[in-house]
Structure 1
């Protein structure tokens, strides 16, 4: 619980609360809950901006009490002023964060979340369209930084030759059941394309969905055919019986059958 008086204790509590939030937001049972989370984060960003301002003020106000480890007051005051300038710059950056979070919250509030579809997805595999690294990847990473990931996807989609790209991926084994991305890779999806990239490792990859071919319908087992009765032979036997003067009459045979 916040003390509202002890900055050290409240800072520790805030750090622990953010750590818990980072863990909890790995999975959302209901995506609609993201709107409430963004609202609380927006309030937190406003408070964080105020904290940076106030800590900066403390450094500049009490700079006469600042010394370095060697006891040099001038050096300590210089460090205090440097800290003040950096904190003021951080506060300005938080203003930009606030605007971005505010815009994200407004967009999230316009979403009408539907229940998760129960039908299995029609796409279960991904084919590699292009993989770039080194200088080629640097050019695309620059596009991402300048114009956004969607623009980079449009640029890399020019490498997609349709069926030719799919066949090449199938032959070379560049077909994946899940997105081949490392822990530090970032991903962005646009339509049928998935972009993965990593600034630190300097690589970019574009993949395209590959519909799983429908499984052939199981053939119904062949119906067992009932052997046909030898009707012609029976009719022949009947004719022969009728022509035989010593054969018992049909009526007497039927009478005996009913009697039994």
Structure 2
């Protein structure tokens, strides 16, 4: 607490307060607090000028009892200190004006609350089923007549839960990006994504894979461009290398692939 009568004690307290302020102003959790701090600092600069003026006057008033160590009168030294203090006080006038203008400008600012964006949830997808040719035509007709929800409900019959997920990991049909070509249509609902292309004659369904499931080896996860492996009902579980889901099917090579019919 300030004594208002003991300049030594009050100077020590003021110094300690400034030390605390210098530490506290290294960061502001709420930028709006800067306006209030500037108001206090602005007033403090004015008071500091008053202190320097008073110290200058005190040196001049007591110059007749000023001595240096060898008892030689030091009136000139006291006056020199008074002059330096007076100039320092005058120099604070510009500081006070600038701080005051900064305080006024800060008062015109409406600080918006910082919003920390939530990290985007990582999503992965497992293949459920892929059909092309005549088998796809039936589903494409269903989508055309009853809508994409009906198509998802129909293809979801090939989803056997953990068994389908396990087969997808084994066969490398876990995708970091949705498997879809440039001209494909996609629709997401209930954790599934339906991808279909009436012109190319194929339709596929993938299911979102929760992050809580252990991560497979990197070689088991393929890029989206390799998503649809073109496994046929007669093919072994592993798709032939280089099969392109998005390539048009020849007239005599139409096939279907049910996402690891389990």
If the TM-score is normalised by the length of the shorter chain, which range does it land in? 0.3 to 0.5
Decide which structure has greater helix share.
1
The structure with higher relative contact order (CA 8 Å, sep 6+) is: 2
